């Protein structure tokens, strides 16, 4: 199994631009999580899905952030418009049924200038 796949691995964009981060969870996993990691705030849960349905989005910082999961094998996290304070590493993680271990993807390092 290839594990959780995220793209792009690095993204540099200018303030005000739209950014879309992508995630492919491990096949068969029914939970998908989006996290943000910064030095200041550590690892924060943004939103998670169960069977493609958003369960808790209370960690999404602002209306500029949105996430979708149109099917079991794909999810996106969109930031529009982006701001320099959005610079961080964004991780996607998935979890199989009946198991609490979350499997993280390699992350997307976002830099907003």
Partner 1 sequence: GENVEQHPSTLSVQEGDSAVIKCTYSDSASNYFPWYKQELGKRPQLIIDIRSNVGEKKDQRIAVTLNKTAKHFSLHITETQPEDSAVYFCAASHIIQGAQKLVFGQGTRLTINP
SS3 label, residue 1 = coil
- CA distance to 12, 13, 18, 21, 28, per residue, from 25 (Å): 24, 25, 23, 13, 8
The contact set with partner 1 (CB under 8 A) reads: 31, 33, 42-45, 48, 50, 55-56, 91, 95, 97-98, 100-102, 104-107
Nearer to partner 1, 50 or 81 (CB): 50
Nearer to partner 1, 10 or 85 (CB): 10
Task: Give the shortest CB-88-to-partner 1 separation in angstroms.
Answer: 14
């Amino acid at each position: 199994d290839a594990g959780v796949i995220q793209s792009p691995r690095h993204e540099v964009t200018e303030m005000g631009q739209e950014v879309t981060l992508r995630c492919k969870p491990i096949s068969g996993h029914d939970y998908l999580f989006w996290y943000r990691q910064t030095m200041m705030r550590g690892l924060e849960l943004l939103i998670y899905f169960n069977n493609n349905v958003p369960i808790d989005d209370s960690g999404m910082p602002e209306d500029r952030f949105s996430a979708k999961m149109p099917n079991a094998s794909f999810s996106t996290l969109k930031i529009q418009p982006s701001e320099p304070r959005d610079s961080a590493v964004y991780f996607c993680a998935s979890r199989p049924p009946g198991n609490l271990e979350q499997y993280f993807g390699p992350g997307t390092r976002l830099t907003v200038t």
